[in-house]
Amino acid sequence: MNNKFTKILKKKNRSKIICLTAYSKNIAETIDPHTDIILVGDSLGSTIYNYSTTRKVTLDQMVEHSKSVRLGVKKSLMVVDMPYRTYRNKKIALKNARRIMKETKCDAVKIEGGSSIIKIAEHLVKNKVPLMGHLGILPQSIKGKFKFKGKKIKERNKIFNDAKLLQDKGAFSIVLECVETTLAKQITKSLKIPTIGIGSSVNCDGQVLVIDDLIGLNESKIKFVKKFGLIKNNISQAVKKFKKDVLNKKYPTKKYSY
C-alpha cells in the first residue's frame, strides 16, 4: 500500500479522518485540500440521477464520474463504490474492480456487506485490490425505510463479527452507516483499522457525508445530515443578478464580448 494508506491507518486513535463524496472534478478539486478520503459513492444515483435506489447505478456511470473526480484529486485517498451486482461472485468482482482501478486510477474500491461477501473481499485483497468495507445500513440491500442498526443483540453481534471478518481479510477501513452509538464505539475500539461513521456517532475514527447534503444542495431530512452551508441560496442570488443584468442590457458589456 502507498503512503496515502499509511497516513489513513496512522490516524487511528490519533486524529479524525475526514471523508466526503464527490462526483465531478470541480467538487473534488474544491474539497481535496480539506479531506483525507474522497469517495465516489453510488449515492450519485439519488444525488444526481434522482433514482429511488442505488441499485439502478451502473458500472459505466461509476467509472465516468470517477474519471472526472480523479482530475480534481491531488492529495486525498480516492475510493470508488462498486455498484449493485458488480461483485456478485469472485470472478465478476475481480474483473469489475480491476476495470475501475485501471480506468479511473483510483486508490481503492468499496463494497457492502460482511459474512455474505467475505470470500469476495478476500479474493479482491489477495489480488492486490485495496478494499474498504461497509456495514450497518447497506443501501444496495435495503428494503423499506432506513432504520439504524444494532438495536437487537443478534444484530449487534453480527455487525461486530462482520467488522472483525473484514479486518482479518484485509480491508483497510470500514464505513459504519447508522450503527447504534455504543456498538460503533465497541467496534472502533476493537479494530486496528479505522472506522468511518455516517450517522454512527462521534466514536468512529472518521466521518463521511454526501457533499450535496453538507452544502445544502439537497433537501435531505435524514437525521444524520447537518447542513454546513446553503449553496442553493448562493446559486439563486447569482442567477438573479445574471437575469437582472441581461434584462437591463448590462451584460455582456464590451469587456465580456469579442
Residues identified as active-site = 177
Q: How many CB atoms lie within 10 A of CB 13?
A: 10
How far apart (Å, rounded) are the C-alpha atoms in residues 14 and 141? Answer: 33
* Strand 195-198 versus strand 206-209 pairing type: parallel
How far apart (Å, rounded) are the C-alpha atoms in residues 168 and 151? Answer: 25
The grid cell for 181 is 452509538
Closest among 38, 41, 30, 42 to 4, alpha carbons compared: 38
Scanning the structure block, which residue is given the C-alpha cell 464505513? 175
Residue 221 one-letter amino acid: K
Sign for the pseudo-dihedral over CA of 21, 169, 194, 112 = positive
Q: Calculate the alpha carbon distances from 203 to 20, 39, 110, 125, 198 in Å.
A: 18, 21, 21, 27, 11
Q: How many CB atoms lie within 10 A of CB 221?
A: 6
Q: How many CB atoms lie within 10 A of CB 12?
A: 17
CB 199 within 8 A of CB 221: no
User: DSSP class of residue 85?
Assistant: T
Beta bridge partners, 40, equal 80
User: How long, in residues, is the chain?
Assistant: 258
The grid cell for 61 is 456511470
